[in-house]
Chain A
Amino acid sequence: MMRAWPVIAAMFMALGGLSAVAGYEMAQPQAAQWREIAWPFPRDGWPAGRAFRCSAAECGGDVEVYLRPKLGFCNCDSGVADDDEVDRVADVDMISPRFVPRKAGDVVDVADMPGRIRAYDLDGHRTAIGIAVSHRCDLMAVAAQGSGDADGVQRVTLRFLESQEITKWMTSALNGQ
């Protein structure tokens, strides 16, 4: 019986170690700290929007998100109809004109606005996310880029868009406030 103690202790230590590793791998990055940065793109047909950055330490990889309203740029009845529309309007082309969709997009709901989301490869080595959601005849265009995998960039982007401050800003921007 006495000889069993070292074995039991070793098993507990091993289990504890495995749990710690698993716990580390499963843990969310620490609460993401998004910092607003200057709009990084040259003037185009739409006024500049807002841009935010989250570092790798906090978001599991560098992520930047750009969002702006596009008033009067949407079919008032059908909204964001298909993936082609996301390709056209979501501002991913501002990051790079050479974006390639990874797969078909999905429907999404952001700030109670329906639309579509799609992931892209950028220049073969980065990931971009395009989101277009509509409110009546107006659009909210969101583009994001990151160094991590597409699922991760999409996840932190959507989580960021769900934040109270950003949801409130998007709603206000499309409501003439």
Chain B
Amino acid sequence: MGGRVTAACCTFLLVLLANAASAQQKIGDPPEASNMRLVGTNDLQARSAYQPTIHHQGDRWIAYIGHHGGTDDIPDPVNPMTGKAEPNGTSIVDVTDPAHPKYLRHIPGQEGKYESGGAQMVRICDGKDLPKGDRNAVYMLRAVGSEGHEIWNVADPANPVLVTHIGEGLKDTHKNFWECSTGIAYLVSGAPDWRTRRMTQIYDLSDPAHPLKIRDFGLPGQEPGATGAVPTELHGPISTGPKGNRVYFGYGTNKGGFLQIVDRDKLLNGAKEPTPDNLTFPEIARMPLSAMNGAHTVFPMPGMPIAEFAHDKDGKTRDIVMIVDEAIQNECGEGRQMVWFADVTTEARPMMISSFTVPEASGNFCERGGRFGSHSSNESMAPVYYKKLAFIAFFNAGVRALDIRDPYHPREVGYFIPSITAATDKRCVTIDGRDRCKVAIQTNNVETDDRGYIYAVDRANTGLHILELTGAARAIAGLP
């Protein structure tokens, strides 16, 4: 009897171990998918990728993709188009035919590895939309590490021309936002005299060739000369422009985060000296997350009709902000970073109403290697998906498609976990003083275009994956 029990226990353990082992991706394994399909790929020269922005230029669709710095093994990958080793910067890819994306140009960024180099963030505005822009120009704003920010004319995306440079000697730069209709840019910077690595420098970039500084903005306690506790650093803002008159700021990464709701008009036109009173003046509300979560993306969706509330005499529509935390630690070495939905209809009293995470057990994701948890969402507000579907980059769990029509009850309707390739970089944890490394997909950012294609990029150098919805998920978007 005892032998049978032992044998059964051993078998059970073996099955458990086999499951854990099988969770790890191997080169040649097919992608894992539900209601999403791979349309095309590009290796992005095996550069670690951050923000993709997809822009409709004439009759072409161009993807602009920011990169982190290089790796310990390959600090400056070779650009096969030039034959030269170049520090990671910005990739420009023609995705007009998404099945056959064509790499057009790599613009080198700042020397440095991982988060210390590259040119992570990129935003695009047409010159014809900017109040004082060259009507024939297409402007790309990019953050170039501690070197500052740059604006390039990418009207000919294969031959970009540098227009101007903004800022010097910054502690850091990150997830900017640029209003194309006004030219107002919220540049995430680390001004040298501020007490934080990331705050906001607001510029009027309506004439990109002649940037005008409006003000520095941050939280009281971060400003120059302050003492005492320093509030959590900024991750990035999203503005609703003059019409919405709100700027939503996400603070934190994986800890101590919060959403800050700011009156845009007061922000731009209020007193600009960075005193505690002046920094507080534009703030409408601040909603803290758990100390174990940060806010990478704060994506506003005002005026969402809620079907469940359709017969209520008040509150039929709600103003919603989707908040996405960023996982940092490999192999679940931190509290779970996930997606939150806040009802900000009564702005002074925002309230968290729901959350979403990928069930860990659905893929043994803590065992796969690399980060597991959310990082970012798509930020396109094109009608095809806005307020209907959201796409979340979930590191080793790939891209997750959420039905958000009822933000009180978001539900997953599709996912795609890309295959790893020979270019996919390892991710390590330290155990007993030694690195133990695994290779896993690390889907880092995701964006959509007006046609409904979904663009996922990989932090572990696997490149760009262009996807489309299928089945029930596609029907939600009304796509044929």
Q: Do A and B come from one complex?
A: yes
Closest-CB distance, B428 to chain A (whole angstroms): 10
Contact status B230-A84, CB under 8 Å: yes
Given contacts A76-B115, A78-B116, contact A93 B229 (CB under 8 A): yes
Contact status B292-A88, CB under 8 Å: no
Q: How large is the interface on A (under 10, 10 to 19, 20 to 34, 35 or more residues)?
A: 20 to 34
In the bound complex, residues from chain A placing their C-beta under 8 Å from that of B430 are: 174-176
CA distance A76 to B72 in the complex (A): 11
Q: Which A-chain residue is minimally distant from B436 (CB atoms)?
A: A176
5 more A-B contacts (CB under 8 A) besides A45-B292, A176-B430?
Answer: A45-B291, A77-B113, A88-B196, A93-B228, A177-B433
In the bound complex, residues from chain A placing their C-beta under 8 Å from that of B255 are: 45-46
Closest-CB distance, A157 to chain B (whole angstroms): 20
CA distance A93 to B227 in the complex (A): 11
Q: Which A-chain residue is minimally distant from B294 (CB atoms)?
A: A45
A23 within 8 A of B: no
Q: Is the contact region of chain A dominated by helix, strand, or loop, or is it mixed?
A: loop
Q: Which B-chain residue is minimally distant from A45 (CB atoms)?
A: B255
Contact status A72-B329, CB under 8 Å: yes
In the bound complex, residues from chain B placing their C-beta under 8 Å from that of A100 are: 227-228
In the bound complex, residues from chain A placing their C-beta under 8 Å from that of B134 are: none
B334 within 8 A of A: yes
A125 within 8 A of B: no
Contact status B227-A177, CB under 8 Å: no
CA distance A154 to B143 in the complex (A): 40
B363 within 8 A of A: no
A72, A84, A101: the one contacting B196 at CB < 8 Å is A84
Given contacts A71-B333, A101-B227, contact A175 B432 (CB under 8 A): yes
Q: Is the contact region of chain B dominated by helix, strand, or loop, or is it mixed?
A: loop
Contact status A84-B113, CB under 8 Å: no
Closest-CB distance, B292 to chain A (whole angstroms): 6
B431 within 8 A of A: yes
A6 within 8 A of B: no
Contact status B328-A75, CB under 8 Å: no
B195 within 8 A of A: yes
A44, A81, A87, A174: the one contacting B256 at CB < 8 Å is A44
Q: How many residues of B contact A (CB 8 A)?
A: 28
Per the 8 Å Cβ criterion, residues 99-118 of B in contact with A are 112-116
In the bound complex, residues from chain B placing their C-beta under 8 Å from that of A78 are: 116
Closest-CB distance, A135 to chain B (whole angstroms): 9
Residue with the highest number of chain B CB atoms closer than 10 Å, among A45, A46, A81:
A45
Contact status B116-A176, CB under 8 Å: no
In the bound complex, residues from chain B placing their C-beta under 8 Å from that of A46 are: 255
B384 within 8 A of A: no
Contact status A87-B195, CB under 8 Å: yes
> A residues within 8 Å of B by Cβ?
43-46, 71-72, 75-78, 81, 84-85, 87-88, 93, 97-101, 174-177
CA distance A93 to B226 in the complex (A): 14
B166 within 8 A of A: no
CA distance A85 to B256 in the complex (A): 16
B429 within 8 A of A: yes
In the bound complex, residues from chain B placing their C-beta under 8 Å from that of A177 are: 431-433
Q: Which A-chain residue is minimally distant from B256 (CB atoms)?
A: A45
Q: Which B-chain residue is minimally distant from A44 (CB atoms)?
A: B291
In the bound complex, residues from chain A placing their C-beta under 8 Å from that of B431 are: 176-177
Closest-CB distance, A132 to chain B (whole angstroms): 13
Per the 8 Å Cβ criterion, residues 227-280 of B in contact with A are 227-230, 254-256
In the bound complex, residues from chain B placing their C-beta under 8 Å from that of A88 are: 195-196, 230
A81, A84, A93, A98: the one contacting B195 at CB < 8 Å is A84
CA distance A78 to B172 in the complex (A): 12
Contact status A97-B229, CB under 8 Å: yes
Given contacts A71-B329, A176-B432, A177-B433, contact A76 B113 (CB under 8 A): yes
CA distance A77 to B113 in the complex (A): 8
Closest-CB distance, B83 to chain A (whole angstroms): 27
Closest-CB distance, B153 to chain A (whole angstroms): 32
CA distance A2 to B196 in the complex (A): 78
A-B contact pairs, 8 of them (CB 8 A): A44-B291, A71-B334, A72-B329, A76-B113, A85-B197, A93-B229, A98-B228, A98-B229
B227, B256, B333, B334: the one contacting A99 at CB < 8 Å is B227
Contact status B195-A72, CB under 8 Å: no
CA distance A84 to B322 in the complex (A): 31
Closest-CB distance, A148 to chain B (whole angstroms): 22
Closest-CB distance, A43 to chain B (whole angstroms): 7
CA distance A46 to B227 in the complex (A): 23
Q: Which A-chain residue is minimally distant from B292 (CB atoms)?
A: A45
Contact status B328-A72, CB under 8 Å: yes
